[in-house]
Amino acid sequence: MADAPPRPEGGIELVPRFTDQGYSADQVRERREWLQKKLGIELPLVGASAIPSDQMRGNIENPIGAVQMPLGIAGPLLVNGAHANGTFYVPFATSEGALVRSYERGMVMLTRAGGVTARTIVDGNVVCPMFSFESVDEAARFAAALPDHVEALRAQADSTTRHGRLGRVEARVSGRSVIVSFYYSTADAQGMNMIVKATERACTWLVANGLAPRFKVFSGMSSEKRASGFLLSGGKGKTVVAGARIPAAVLQAYMRITPRQMVELWHDTVIGHLQANAIGYNGHYANGLTAIFIACGQDVANVANAAVGITDYELTPEDDLYASVTLPSLTVATIGGGTMLGTSVECLRMLGCAGATHAPKFAEIIASAILAGELSMAGAISSGEFVNAHESYGRNRPQPDP
């Protein structure tokens, strides 16, 4: 992108440019003061940033400080995962009243019921470039030949990164174009930029070797930061499932409803999802995901894809409840991006998830927390307590709370 946009002229006043992009404390302050003066406002809290400004390089441009968002904790959450094992207190950054209380209620119930079983099924990420040809014939031939070149592609792609590894490669012919899905393992990084670079290298090799005339590194199919049905097939981030058997008595004690009422709620709201032409089915994944992502320095825009999944409630033969969530595209990281910045690393430490090797553990904790939130909201709707709960805890009304 433009390193130095055209200079101001014709009344366009650019944000001030600084030497070395302006990440020193003075430069950040100077930029903020420029804005304050220009707009005639004061930004004291924005200026009260606890993140050393030099650490912001690589995470933001034109910095003027930091925003702050309340942080609460919900727990205990007992997780029996393949990677996460133990009792957790989960950080939520949010300004939506009643949200933490709602997740907490579900967590306590799940813990009382023996905890959540969580499993990371797939751990990777995907880029889907598009190759364009003159005719459907050339496209078909390219797709047919591609399997012969997978080793070469892997060598190219893997040469660009120490953390990503190219797995399978799938071609989908669409008219005279071919969309190729490059599936990678990305270790503990969200890894999107890493694998885009690797993919670009592999694609360039295909063009250089005369196998395709041109490509675009994005076709839109990978659904990065968007919702789509494709995401349900997994491969974009972790695919995680979390489930728990909840005895009827425990459900009654915490939610004041029966397993059968939960199953009925699932039925009714599945109908609503079908009528809405929704993708998958969930109550409010986005609530928990957003709050945890903000707290833990994740790329919050990934909630758009991570919130695609399926919640399920079933009666067991004993008329208890089996509840589960499936998150096929949970894009999370414990290294890279914003994970090391200021409060983020502190929040990751609360979960024992800061740094390398912890991404699958982090994914399992998140999925377990999401299950708690689903149950709690479903319970509130089923029991008719939803409105009351928000009246009690939430700042739901435009007028200030008394």
Contact pattern for a second copy over residues 118 through 147, marking x by CB under 8 A: xx-x------x-x-x--xxx-xx--xx---
- Residue 211 to residue 205: CA distance in whole angstroms: 9
- Position among 153, 156, 157, 191 found at the interface with a second copy (CB under 8 A): 191
* Binding window for a second copy (CB under 8 A); candidates: 150-158, 189-197, 205-213: 189-197
Residue 58 is a binding residue for a second copy (CB under 8 A): yes
Smallest distance, a second copy to C-beta of residue 222, A: 8
Q: Which of residues 252-311 bind a second copy (CB under 8 A)?
A: 253-254, 265, 267-287, 289-291, 294-295, 297, 299-304, 307-308, 310
Active-site residue flag, 170:
no
Active-site residue flag, 83:
no
Residue 150 is a binding residue for a second copy (CB under 8 A): no
Residue 18 is a binding residue for a second copy (CB under 8 A): no
Smallest distance, a second copy to C-beta of residue 149, A: 17
Residue 85 is a binding residue for a second copy (CB under 8 A): no
User: Three-class SS of residue 390?
Assistant: helix
Quick one: angle between helices 248-255 and 359-383, nearest 10?
A: 70
Q: Which of residues 357-396 bind a second copy (CB under 8 A)?
A: 376, 380-382, 384-387, 389-396
* Cβ-based neighbours of 282, under 8 Å, separated by 6 or more: 307, 309, 310, 311, 325, 374
Give me the amino acid identity at 211: L
- Residue 62 to residue 82: CA distance in whole angstroms: 42
- Residue 365 to residue 90: CA distance in whole angstroms: 8
| Catalytic residue chosen out of the listed positions 33, 96, 170, 314 | 96
Smallest distance, a second copy to C-beta of residue 211, A: 17
- Position among 125, 324, 329, 331 found at the interface with a second copy (CB under 8 A): 324
Residue 174 is a binding residue for a second copy (CB under 8 A): yes
HEC string of 90-148? EEEECCCCCHHHHHHHHHHHHHHCCCEEEEEEEEEEEECCEEECCCHHHHHHHHHHHHH
Query: In this structure, what are the phi and psi dihedrals at residue 257, rounded to the nearest 5 degrees?
Result: -140, 170
Of 59, 136, 116, residue with least CA distance to 343:
59
Smallest distance, a second copy to C-beta of residue 25, A: 13
Q: Given the complex with a second copy, which of 10 and 210 has the nearer CB atom?
A: 10
* Cβ-based neighbours of 59, under 8 Å, separated by 6 or more: 337, 338, 341
- Position among 185, 205, 245, 258 found at the interface with a second copy (CB under 8 A): 245
Tokens of 63: 């910095």
- Position among 27, 33, 71, 85 found at the interface with a second copy (CB under 8 A): 71
Contact 239/327 with Cβ under 8 angstroms?
yes
- Position among 147, 207, 213, 397 found at the interface with a second copy (CB under 8 A): 397
Active-site residue flag, 358:
no
Residue 321 is a binding residue for a second copy (CB under 8 A): no
How many CB atoms neighbour CB 27 within 10 A? 17
| Catalytic residue chosen out of the listed positions 163, 284, 358, 390 | 390
Q: Given the complex with a second copy, which of 25 and 301 has the nearer CB atom?
A: 301
Does the N-terminal peptide bond of residue 259 adopt cis geometry, omega within 30 degrees of 0? no
Active site (catalytic) residues: 96, 299, 390
